[in-house]
Structure 1
Amino acid sequence: MKTAVMTDTNSGIMKAEADSMGIFLIPMPVIIDDETHYEGIDLTEDSFYGSLTGGQNVSTSQPSPGDLMDLWDDILEQGYDEIIHIPMSSGLSASCSTAISLSDDYDGKVQVADNHRISVTQRESVMHAKKLAEAGKSAKEIKEVLEAEAYNSSIYIAVDTLEFLKKGGRVTAAGAALGSVLNIKPILTIQGGKLDAFAKTRGMKKCKQKMVEALKNDRETRFKDADDKHLLVGAAGSNLTEEEATEWKQMLVEAFPNSYVYYDPLSFSVGCHIGPKGYGMGISVCSKDYDK
């Protein structure tokens, strides 16, 4: 049984990396002034955030049913027997439910896992799926594993400006103005797929410290039984400089010295809501057969 692993760019995996790992990828559409672009294909991080902060009308969308099914058909025509597709969380986008509905036409050859993740934690699910596929697991078996492990993860995101949360209706105009004056930085969290408010601090330095404390608390409570070998920590950011990204990753390396820590840019689906200079972090507990 030859099983293909597929995901979208919300995982932080872009085309070159996906190609090198043998993972199939569908890019997320981004609409800028009514023109459709594709994350990682014809739209870079700098150009995306340049449009976002430059006053252009920017929004994200789900892959079209036609594009999704064309890719599935192409994968099966390449000789794969089945596909395990890992899209972003159903709690954050309709792309997962759309994929599940479309998969009904494939007689079980396409399995869509809704494991309620995005960004660094979604990446871990994809890498785990690849490992399971290489071990001979079927698409259905991989789907069951990923969905059973869905809540063994946690994400926190610090927002530098309230402007884009205001545009998305998550804060009022008055609240955004007051937050700007007081230098308030909100922290958002994703637990089980939905984006919720977690805390507020004054200044980004305190904000990052608060996030690290929250993630360490998750480690010591929710994930206390996990050994360090199977605890993966991801640092993320929206349009950070190389220096900012390195410093952020190092902060997590120091907080979790015995775990694997890496850095990924936040996906545009997240960046569209929080704007540039946001900081994210995530933790995932992987099963015993995961080997980073």
Structure 2
Amino acid sequence: MSRTFIVTDSTADIPKELVNELHIRIVPLTVMFGEEAFLDGIEMTPERFYPELVKSKELPTTSQPSPAEFTRTYESILAAHPDAQIISIHLSSGLSGTYQSAVIGRSMLDDEQPVTVYDSKSASYGYGYLVVHAARMAAAGRETADIIRSLDELGQRRQLYFLVDTLEYLQKGGRIGKAAATIGTLLNIKPILSIDQDGVIYPVEKARGHKKAMNRIIDMLEQAIKGQKVNVVLGHTADPSTVEGLTDMLRSRFNVADVLYTEIGAVIGTHVGPGTIAVFVWSVGDEGS
């Protein structure tokens, strides 16, 4: 039986202990403060990034890995394991060129090489969960086709929201105007964002104040989940205290099977800023199917 390897990129925001445990290969994106470039998650961790972001006068920029970087990763796996299969799962093509870069990197290999590139149509642990799931299926000896089918099904059970604490970074990134950001800040507006089925970020609605916004997210999840047992992942910007209250709220309203915490990395953090909370929820089904 051939062995299946899972490759992803650094925006999956997977906790390091899971990366190491499941032998997930990560190709990092790059974060740039001015002329200085840092590998996301390696040279620029969330703990380092958010203080730097707050101090910086200019918004940092981010760039995807080159196709050659993906090719090298695939070739290194195949050189060590000639009978290997590879599934390469990446940040939504609607948000970044990373997926396309992986596709081009795969095209530089021989056509018969068993490498499948998968568009997650999501961001952060919205697809990091899929990567971990795929790695567990691979470790159990499941074939590529089975894993891809399971990822498609799991993606349909995903609910996710980002609660943005400050409008400053959405404004700096050009997603909202300066006047709207100023008025929103004065009114203590907290935007709630999500990602649609095409993998594109869209504004769900706005709430005045953090508590009202969190309650609104809970209400929307309740409408979607309808009493099902769920797995929950809560993302934070290197400050776990920001999600403590949300954990209690979710446990009081839902049948929660498992809760995991993760840090929102520098690439996503560049666009949403410090204090952002991410809520990722999956109804529990047959995870091995």
Larger RCO: 1 or 2 (CA < 8 Å, sep 6+): 2
1:85 aligns with 2:88: yes
Shift of 1:16: 5.0
Q: Spell out the pairing of 1:14-53 with structure 2 (5 A cutoff).
A: 14-15=15-16, 17-53=18-54
CA 1:148 to 1:258, structure 2 compared with 1: closer, same or farther past 3 Å? closer
Q: Residue type matched to 2:61 in 1?
A: S
Structure 1's consecutive aligned runs of 4 or more residues displaced over 6 angstroms after TM superposition are none
Q: How does 1:104-253 map to 2 (within 5 A)?
A: 104-106=107-109, 107=111, 108-192=113-197, 193-220=199-226, 228=229, 231-240=230-239, 242-253=240-251
Q: Which amino acid aligns with 1:33?
A: G
Q: What residue in structure 2 maps to residue 99 of structure 1?
A: 102
Equivalent AA in structure 1 for residue 63 of structure 2: S
Assess if the C-alpha contact under 8 Å between 1:110 and 1:139 holds in 2.
no
Inter-partner Cα distance in structure 2 for 1:190 and 1:287: 22
Partner of 2:71: 69
Give the C-alpha shift of residue 272 in structure 1: 0.8
| Structure 1 residues 258 and 19, CA gap change in structure 2 (3 angstroms) | closer
Report the alpha carbon displacement of residue 112 of structure 1 after superposing the two structures with TM. 0.9
In 2, Cα distance between equivalents of 1:195 and 1:10: 15
TM-score, length basis structure 2: 0.90
Per-residue CA deviations over 1:170-210 (Å, capped at 9, x if unaligned) read 11110001001111111111132111001111111111111
Against the structure 1 CA distance between its residues 72 and 287, is the aligned structure 2 distance closer, same or farther, given a 3 Å change threshold?
farther
**Percentage of pairs with the same residue:** 30
Is the CA contact (8 Å cut-off) linking 2:250 and 2:256 kept in structure 1? no
Q: In structure 2, what is the Cα distance between the partners aligned to 1:110 and 1:287?
A: 27
Separation of aligned partners in 1, 2:148 and 2:104: 15
Match of 1:271 in 2: 269
Q: How much does 1:104 deviate? A: 2.6
CA distance in 1, matches of 2:165, 2:59: 20
Shift of the alpha carbon at 1:135?
3.2
TM-score, normalisation: structure 1: 0.89
Q: In structure 2, do the counterparts of structure 1 residues 145 and 290 end up closer, same or farther at CA, with 3 Å as the change threshold?
A: closer
For residues 145-178 of structure 1, give each alpha carbon's deviation from its aligned partner in whole angstroms, at most 9, with x where no partner exists: 3234433212111111111111121111100010
Equivalent residue letter for 1:190: I
In structure 2, the CA distance between the partners of 1:78 and 1:256, relative to structure 1 (3 Å rule), is farther
How many residue pairs get aligned? The number is 283
Q: Aligned letter for 2:281?
A: I
CA deviations on 1:254-276 (whole Å, 9 max, x unpaired) are: 33243212211123222111100
CA distance in 2, matches of 1:17, 1:135: 16
Deviates more, 1:76-85 or 1:160-169: 76-85
Of the structure 1 ranges 267-276 and 144-153, higher mean CA displacement relative to structure 2 is found in 144-153
When structure 1 is superposed on structure 2, of 15-24 and 94-103 the one drifting more is 15-24
Rounded to whole Å, the distance in 2 between the matches of 1:250 and 1:38 is: 35
Structure 2 contact 236–243 (Cα < 8 Å) conserved: yes
Report the more deviating stretch, 159-168 or 246-255: 246-255
